Structure 1
Amino acid sequence: MNSATKLRSTSMVGNILGNLTSEDTAQTIASVENPIADNFFVELPIAEIWRPKQQRLFFDPQEIEKLKIAIQEEGFRGAVLVTSLPPNSEALSQGFKYELVFGASRVTACEELDHEVIRAEIQELTPQQVRRIRFDENMVRKNLNAFEVLLGYLELMADEAETTPDVVEQELNQMSNSAKRGNGISEDIKTRLETYQAILDRYNGGKLTSFRTKLIKFRSLPDDVRQALDTGQIDASKALEIGGVKDDEDRDDLLSWIIDVNPPVKEIRQAKRQQAESKNTAKEKKPSPNMKRATTAVDGLSLLLKGDVLRKKNKQVGTILDQINDLVAQLQELT
């Protein structure tokens, strides 16, 4: 079927642009995945669908394999959602006509099965609407890890305020600094902060102060831990638990163990304590410079005791030994 086939619009966008609830979003996604007679879909060439960078940083290969098996055994059910690319899109020059809104795993599975077309619904959407729908779809499926969810919130806040994620973070920092110092903030920023909080409320995402704190913690994760989180090797709670381990070798040991064994957070904390205790014990056993000096002195006297110097009467030797005894007594007074 020609990609320009005329379609009758569904009620999807109306749901998405209102005050969303989880139930609304679930029904929206279900309407595309389980089409009813009132909805019309087309078979689009996969080569015409542009897939932008997704909010999901990692796609589980096992998930793709399960989808492929399901498609082979039961056929392709439901549809993916696409929107026409705007006239100024660079993707048009690469031969694409549509942007994928959601259904990336299904498109990948069909590609790997050498399917040339896929069932799709076309909606005319703004970039802000696309990001909202994509985020809601991932939230309903619980496809995002905790850091991806935070970044999704940040994008929605920027869209709502018609600004950039960087500006949103700057305003959140101003909010935090104002609370600490007792300084005021402008009415414009107050209004935008209320907008940001409303977005978190929509998804039961907690308070702005907590959101900012979590975002900072995730952004400060070491590269190795962040990579393990992004690729789905560890979950967010475990990433945060070992993210504060400063010693690279200790952190690498913990990370390898977590990836292999997947222990509960309680056991990870216990392992961190054992690492710290082991280091403290090692520090206690390591001789200080003064201990080394004392050892040298004792070793020297031991050698003298074995020789003939101390056996002979020698006034000068006696004077030096008296001085040594006096010094030892002074050291004992310091303890």
Structure 2
Amino acid sequence: MPSKRQQLADRRSRVGESATPVNIATEHLLKVEPEAATQGTAEDVVAFWIPLADLEPSPFQYRYSLDQGAVEALAQSIQAQELYQPITVRPAAQPGKYQVVLGHRRLAAFQRLERATIPAMIREYDDAQVLRAMLDENLRREDVNLFEQTEGVVRLVAVSSGRAGHPVEVTRRLLGEMRTQLKASGQDAFQEPHRTAAHLIQEVTGMPWMSFYTNRMRVYGLPDALQTAVRAGMPYSLALAVQRLPEAQHGAALDFLGAPTGPWRSRQELLAWARDSDVRPPAYSDRLQTLGRRLDRQTLTRAEQAQLEKLLGKLESLLG
């Protein structure tokens, strides 16, 4: 049986493969001629010169910013060597337009060079296949951060479930249902769409769905400023350390750590800064407000609700 490392390498080698035969009119497009043309090339591996004006960004793109230094280096490489790696697109809703699936950084480099056309492979993807292709490509990148991967998985699970709503809320509700079922029955013999959600999370991240729900989904409980910092690349452990400080200190702590884009100081440096700044533990009212916000976003089982009611009753009795 192939190892997990071998399975991941095999999956990465298939990035961008179309799951369906390509049946798209391309007669109006100019083919990109390879250095050594081959006979019988499959239509879905032929690249065409597509006008940049006919391209749309993907609505599923979950990488929040492009490294402008990397884009500039890529643009210089293209200008010097004319070495083209085609991007991947799919037909957009408007005839004659195409939606970028893979290659947003290459597209940015061509835009910087003010090129009129770009080589692209046209493939037929549904929404779930678009997200999966993006995730598999980004798994190969060293600069993809934890939040970006989590965002991609959350969107993939939400789209694959077929449920309407914001991806984070759909995924949180779906995994909450799975946790409730697991606690009630003691086994995870899920039906759809829960079975697909568990499979996708395991396959893409290599971690069980419960670990993803418990650890990765917690990032959405961070205050907006900390979520923004994590999106920009701040380690999640740093964000949690900042969250434990009084809310009034979050801005100063982020400035100290290196917001908005780093380089980031360490957690040990943050703790030393907090001691020197005489940062006190949050007041009880701040802690209760934080807990209240977290509870509003949680899905509790009946047993957990009963336990919470008891604790709230004790607190009310304590305060008279």
Q: What TM-score does the superposition give when structure 1 sets the normalisation length?
A: 0.64
CA deviations on 1:226-280 (whole Å, 9 max, x unpaired) are 2223234x2333223323323323x2222112116622233334434x168x245
Give yes or no for contact 1:50–1:96 (8 Å, CA) kept in 2. Answer: no
Between structure 1 and structure 2, the one with the greater Rg is 1
Aligned counterpart in structure 1 of residue 170 of structure 2, from 141, 164, 167: 167
Is 1:268 the counterpart of 2:270 in the alignment? yes
Letter in 2 for 1:252: G
CA deviations on 1:193-251 (whole Å, 9 max, x unpaired) are 3332221221243122221223442112222222223234x2333223323323323x2
The alpha-carbon distance between structure 1 residues 248 and 96, as it changes in their structure 2 partners (threshold 3 A), is: farther
Give the deviation of 1:30 after TM superposition.
9.1
Unmatched 5+ stretches in structure 1: 1-19, 284-335
Letter in 2 for 1:223: D
Give the deviation of 1:149 after TM superposition.
1.2
CA distance in structure 1 between the aligned counterparts of 2:159 and 2:268, rounded to whole angstroms: 39
The alpha-carbon distance between structure 1 residues 27 and 183, as it changes in their structure 2 partners (threshold 3 A), is: closer
CA distance in structure 2 between the aligned counterparts of 1:158 and 1:261, rounded to whole angstroms: 33
CA distance in structure 1 between the aligned counterparts of 2:271 and 2:208, rounded to whole angstroms: 27
Unmatched 5+ stretches in structure 2: 1-5, 19-33, 284-320
Q: Which moved more, 1:110-119 or 1:164-173?
A: 164-173
SS in structure 1 at match of 2:66: coil
CA deviations on 1:106-162 (whole Å, 9 max, x unpaired) are 101111111010011111222221121122111222443212211211222233333
Letter in 2 for 1:23: A
Give yes or no for contact 2:181–2:188 (8 Å, CA) kept in 1. Answer: no
Is 1:41 the counterpart of 2:47 in the alignment? yes
SS in structure 2 at match of 1:262: coil
Give yes or no for contact 2:153–2:204 (8 Å, CA) kept in 1. Answer: no
Aligned length: 248
Q: What TM-score does the superposition give when structure 2 sets the normalisation length?
A: 0.66
SS in structure 2 at match of 1:100: strand
Match of 2:302 in 1: none
Match of 2:73 in 1: 66
Give yes or no for contact 1:145–1:236 (8 Å, CA) kept in 2. Answer: no
Match of 2:87 in 1: 80
Match of 2:199 in 1: 198
The alpha-carbon distance between structure 1 residues 206 and 270, as it changes in their structure 2 partners (threshold 3 A), is: farther
Match of 1:108 in 2: 108
CA distance in structure 2 between the aligned counterparts of 1:27 and 1:155, rounded to whole angstroms: 23
Give yes or no for contact 1:43–1:117 (8 Å, CA) kept in 2. Answer: yes
Match of 1:24 in 2: 10
Greater helix fraction, Structure 1 or Structure 2: 1
Give yes or no for contact 2:49–2:119 (8 Å, CA) kept in 1. Answer: yes
The alpha-carbon distance between structure 1 residues 56 and 29, as it changes in their structure 2 partners (threshold 3 A), is: same
Match of 1:122 in 2: 122
Is 1:247 the counterpart of 2:250 in the alignment? no
The alpha-carbon distance between structure 1 residues 29 and 215, as it changes in their structure 2 partners (threshold 3 A), is: closer
CA distance in structure 1 between the aligned counterparts of 2:202 and 2:272, rounded to whole angstroms: 35
Give yes or no for contact 2:246–2:280 (8 Å, CA) kept in 1. Answer: no
CA distance in structure 2 between the aligned counterparts of 1:138 and 1:252, rounded to whole angstroms: 31
SS in structure 1 at match of 2:163: coil
SS in structure 2 at match of 1:140: coil
CA RMSD of aligned residues (A): 3.3
SS in structure 2 at match of 1:119: strand
The alpha-carbon distance between structure 1 residues 100 and 212, as it changes in their structure 2 partners (threshold 3 A), is: same
